[in-house]
A and B are shown apart, each in its own frame.
Chain A
Protein backbone atom coordinates (compact mmCIF):
# COMPACT_ATOMS: atom_id res chain seq x y z
CA UNK A 1 0.00 0.00 0.00
CA UNK A 2 1.13 3.55 -0.65
CA UNK A 3 -0.05 6.83 0.88
CA UNK A 4 0.90 10.50 0.54
CA UNK A 5 -0.39 12.65 3.38
CA UNK A 6 0.15 15.80 5.39
CA UNK A 7 -0.58 14.16 8.73
CA UNK A 8 1.89 12.29 10.87
CA UNK A 9 1.83 8.48 11.02
CA UNK A 10 1.97 6.06 13.95
CA UNK A 11 4.47 3.33 13.14
CA UNK A 12 2.87 0.85 15.57
CA UNK A 13 -0.58 1.28 14.03
CA UNK A 14 0.83 1.05 10.51
CA UNK A 15 2.56 -2.24 11.31
CA UNK A 16 -0.54 -3.63 13.03
CA UNK A 17 -2.54 -2.90 9.88
CA UNK A 18 0.16 -4.35 7.63
CA UNK A 19 0.33 -7.69 9.48
CA UNK A 20 -3.37 -8.09 10.25
CA UNK A 21 -4.72 -11.36 8.81
CA UNK A 22 -1.41 -12.28 7.20
CA UNK A 23 -0.16 -15.23 9.23
CA UNK A 24 2.48 -16.18 6.65
CA UNK A 25 4.61 -13.22 7.77
CA UNK A 26 7.69 -14.12 9.78
CA UNK A 27 9.66 -10.88 9.50
CA UNK A 28 8.80 -7.19 9.23
CA UNK A 29 11.44 -4.53 8.60
CA UNK A 30 10.65 -0.81 8.69
CA UNK A 31 12.61 2.29 7.75
CA UNK A 32 11.64 5.71 9.10
CA UNK A 33 13.09 8.92 7.69
CA UNK A 34 12.93 12.03 9.91
CA UNK A 35 13.71 15.74 9.59
CA UNK A 36 17.31 16.37 10.59
CA UNK A 37 18.85 19.55 11.96
CA UNK A 38 22.47 18.50 12.32
CA UNK A 39 24.00 21.97 12.55
CA UNK A 40 21.30 24.20 14.04
CA UNK A 41 20.46 25.55 10.60
CA UNK A 42 17.04 24.04 9.97
CA UNK A 43 13.91 25.34 11.66
CA UNK A 44 11.48 23.76 9.19
CA UNK A 45 11.38 21.58 6.11
CA UNK A 46 8.67 21.85 3.49
CA UNK A 47 8.02 18.95 1.15
CA UNK A 48 6.55 19.68 -2.25
CA UNK A 49 5.45 16.94 -4.63
CA UNK A 50 3.85 16.26 -8.00
CA UNK A 51 0.33 15.00 -7.23
CA UNK A 52 -0.57 12.19 -9.59
CA UNK A 53 2.95 11.31 -10.64
CA UNK A 54 4.00 10.80 -7.02
CA UNK A 55 1.41 8.10 -6.50
CA UNK A 56 2.31 6.45 -9.81
CA UNK A 57 6.00 6.38 -8.95
CA UNK A 58 5.42 5.02 -5.44
CA UNK A 59 3.18 2.28 -6.87
CA UNK A 60 5.92 1.45 -9.38
CA UNK A 61 8.54 1.24 -6.61
CA UNK A 62 6.29 -1.04 -4.58
CA UNK A 63 5.50 -3.27 -7.57
CA UNK A 64 9.21 -3.58 -8.34
CA UNK A 65 9.91 -4.74 -4.77
CA UNK A 66 7.22 -7.40 -5.07
CA UNK A 67 8.73 -8.54 -8.37
CA UNK A 68 12.17 -8.95 -6.78
CA UNK A 69 11.40 -10.52 -3.38
CA UNK A 70 8.77 -12.89 -1.97
CA UNK A 71 6.79 -10.37 0.10
CA UNK A 72 3.50 -10.74 1.95
CA UNK A 73 2.97 -7.00 2.22
CA UNK A 74 4.67 -3.63 1.77
CA UNK A 75 3.91 -0.10 2.82
CA UNK A 76 5.14 3.33 1.81
CA UNK A 77 3.82 6.41 3.65
CA UNK A 78 5.31 9.78 2.66
CA UNK A 79 4.41 13.11 4.21
CA UNK A 80 4.17 16.45 2.40
CA UNK A 81 3.83 20.03 3.60
CA UNK A 82 5.61 21.79 6.44
CA UNK A 83 7.58 19.66 8.92
CA UNK A 84 9.93 20.45 11.78
CA UNK A 85 13.16 18.84 13.00
CA UNK A 86 12.40 15.48 14.56
CA UNK A 87 9.19 15.01 12.59
CA UNK A 88 8.56 11.88 10.58
CA UNK A 89 8.95 12.22 6.80
CA UNK A 90 8.64 8.74 5.38
CA UNK A 91 7.96 5.16 6.39
CA UNK A 92 8.75 2.09 4.34
CA UNK A 93 7.96 -1.41 5.54
CA UNK A 94 8.37 -4.86 4.06
CA UNK A 95 6.88 -8.07 5.43
CA UNK A 96 8.05 -11.48 4.34
CA UNK A 97 8.28 -15.05 5.59
CA UNK A 98 11.97 -14.57 6.35
CA UNK A 99 14.17 -11.67 7.38
CA UNK A 100 16.51 -11.53 4.38
CA UNK A 101 13.79 -10.53 1.94
CA UNK A 102 12.24 -8.13 4.47
CA UNK A 103 15.55 -6.33 5.14
CA UNK A 104 16.48 -6.10 1.49
CA UNK A 105 13.04 -4.99 0.32
CA UNK A 106 12.62 -2.32 3.02
CA UNK A 107 15.96 -0.84 1.97
CA UNK A 108 15.09 -1.09 -1.71
CA UNK A 109 11.79 0.74 -1.14
CA UNK A 110 13.47 3.78 0.42
CA UNK A 111 16.51 3.78 -1.89
CA UNK A 112 14.44 3.56 -5.06
CA UNK A 113 11.89 6.09 -3.78
CA UNK A 114 14.67 8.60 -3.13
CA UNK A 115 15.81 8.48 -6.75
CA UNK A 116 12.45 8.31 -8.53
CA UNK A 117 9.50 9.70 -6.55
CA UNK A 118 8.86 13.39 -7.33
CA UNK A 119 9.29 15.03 -3.92
CA UNK A 120 11.41 18.12 -3.23
CA UNK A 121 12.60 19.37 0.15
CA UNK A 122 13.00 23.04 1.00
CA UNK A 123 14.79 23.88 4.23
CA UNK A 124 14.02 27.02 6.22
CA UNK A 125 16.44 28.43 8.76
CA UNK A 126 17.96 31.61 10.17
CA UNK A 127 19.76 32.18 6.84
CA UNK A 128 16.56 31.90 4.80
CA UNK A 129 15.09 29.20 2.58
CA UNK A 130 16.89 26.86 0.23
CA UNK A 131 16.00 23.84 -1.86
CA UNK A 132 17.86 20.73 -0.78
CA UNK A 133 20.22 19.51 -3.50
CA UNK A 134 20.07 15.90 -4.61
CA UNK A 135 22.90 13.67 -3.46
CA UNK A 136 25.33 13.13 -6.35
Chain B
Protein backbone atom coordinates (compact mmCIF):
# COMPACT_ATOMS: atom_id res chain seq x y z
CA UNK B 1 0.00 0.00 0.00
CA UNK B 2 1.05 3.53 -0.72
CA UNK B 3 -0.17 6.56 1.20
CA UNK B 4 -1.14 9.53 -0.94
CA UNK B 5 -1.34 12.96 0.69
CA UNK B 6 -2.84 16.18 -0.66
CA UNK B 7 -2.22 19.66 0.72
CA UNK B 8 -3.57 23.21 0.36
CA UNK B 9 -5.70 23.75 -2.78
CA UNK B 10 -4.86 20.29 -4.10
CA UNK B 11 -6.61 18.91 -1.00
CA UNK B 12 -9.52 21.34 -1.43
CA UNK B 13 -10.04 20.13 -5.00
CA UNK B 14 -9.64 16.38 -4.43
CA UNK B 15 -11.79 16.68 -1.31
CA UNK B 16 -9.52 14.37 0.70
CA UNK B 17 -6.35 14.88 2.74
CA UNK B 18 -4.99 11.35 2.45
CA UNK B 19 -5.74 7.85 1.24
CA UNK B 20 -4.04 4.47 1.15
CA UNK B 21 -4.08 2.79 -2.24
CA UNK B 22 -2.51 -0.01 -4.20
CA UNK B 23 -0.78 1.66 -7.14
CA UNK B 24 -2.01 0.17 -10.42
CA UNK B 25 0.52 -1.64 -12.59
CA UNK B 26 2.50 0.40 -15.07
CA UNK B 27 2.98 3.38 -12.79
CA UNK B 28 6.69 3.94 -12.28
CA UNK B 29 7.13 7.71 -11.98
CA UNK B 30 5.44 10.75 -10.45
CA UNK B 31 4.27 11.75 -13.95
CA UNK B 32 2.68 8.32 -14.46
CA UNK B 33 0.89 8.65 -11.14
CA UNK B 34 -0.46 12.12 -11.96
CA UNK B 35 -1.69 10.80 -15.30
CA UNK B 36 -3.57 8.03 -13.55
CA UNK B 37 -4.94 10.29 -10.78
CA UNK B 38 -6.49 12.54 -13.45
CA UNK B 39 -8.66 9.62 -14.58
CA UNK B 40 -10.18 8.99 -11.15
CA UNK B 41 -13.16 11.29 -11.48
CA UNK B 42 -14.04 14.95 -11.87
CA UNK B 43 -12.52 16.06 -8.55
CA UNK B 44 -9.15 14.57 -9.43
CA UNK B 45 -9.30 15.75 -13.03
CA UNK B 46 -9.93 19.26 -11.71
CA UNK B 47 -7.23 19.05 -9.03
CA UNK B 48 -4.56 17.91 -11.47
CA UNK B 49 -5.59 19.74 -14.66
CA UNK B 50 -2.95 22.43 -14.09
CA UNK B 51 -0.31 19.81 -13.45
CA UNK B 52 2.52 22.29 -14.04
CA UNK B 53 1.40 24.10 -10.87
CA UNK B 54 1.63 21.00 -8.69
CA UNK B 55 4.69 19.84 -6.78
CA UNK B 56 5.28 16.36 -5.44
CA UNK B 57 7.26 14.73 -2.68
CA UNK B 58 8.17 11.05 -2.51
CA UNK B 59 8.78 9.76 1.00
CA UNK B 60 8.96 13.33 2.30
CA UNK B 61 11.63 14.44 -0.17
CA UNK B 62 10.97 16.90 -3.01
CA UNK B 63 10.48 14.97 -6.23
CA UNK B 64 10.39 15.63 -9.96
CA UNK B 65 8.07 14.30 -12.62
CA UNK B 66 10.59 11.58 -13.49
CA UNK B 67 11.19 10.53 -9.87
CA UNK B 68 10.45 6.85 -9.30
CA UNK B 69 7.49 5.89 -7.15
CA UNK B 70 8.22 2.18 -7.35
CA UNK B 71 9.10 1.64 -3.68
CA UNK B 72 7.44 4.73 -2.25
CA UNK B 73 5.57 4.50 1.05
CA UNK B 74 4.24 8.07 0.94
CA UNK B 75 3.64 10.40 -2.00
CA UNK B 76 2.39 13.95 -1.51
CA UNK B 77 0.97 16.51 -3.95
CA UNK B 78 0.81 20.23 -3.20
CA UNK B 79 1.13 23.72 -4.69
CA UNK B 80 4.46 25.57 -4.64
CA UNK B 81 5.28 26.30 -0.99
CA UNK B 82 4.46 29.70 0.55
CA UNK B 83 5.88 29.62 4.06
CA UNK B 84 8.21 32.03 5.77
Seen from chain A, the residues whose Cβ lies within 8 Å of a Cβ on chain B are: 33, 47-50, 52-53, 56, 78, 89-90, 110, 113-122, 131-134
Contact = CB atoms under 8 A, between A and B. Distances in A.
Contacts of B33: none
Interface residues of B, number: 16
B81 A131 contact: no
Contacts of A33: 84
A114 B76 contact: no
Interface stretch (B1-9, B22-30, B38-46, B64-72): B1-9
Interface of B: 5, 7-9, 57, 60-62, 76, 78-84
Contacts of A113: 83-84
Nearest to A31: B84
Given A56-B60, A116-B62, A131-B9, A89 B78 contact: no
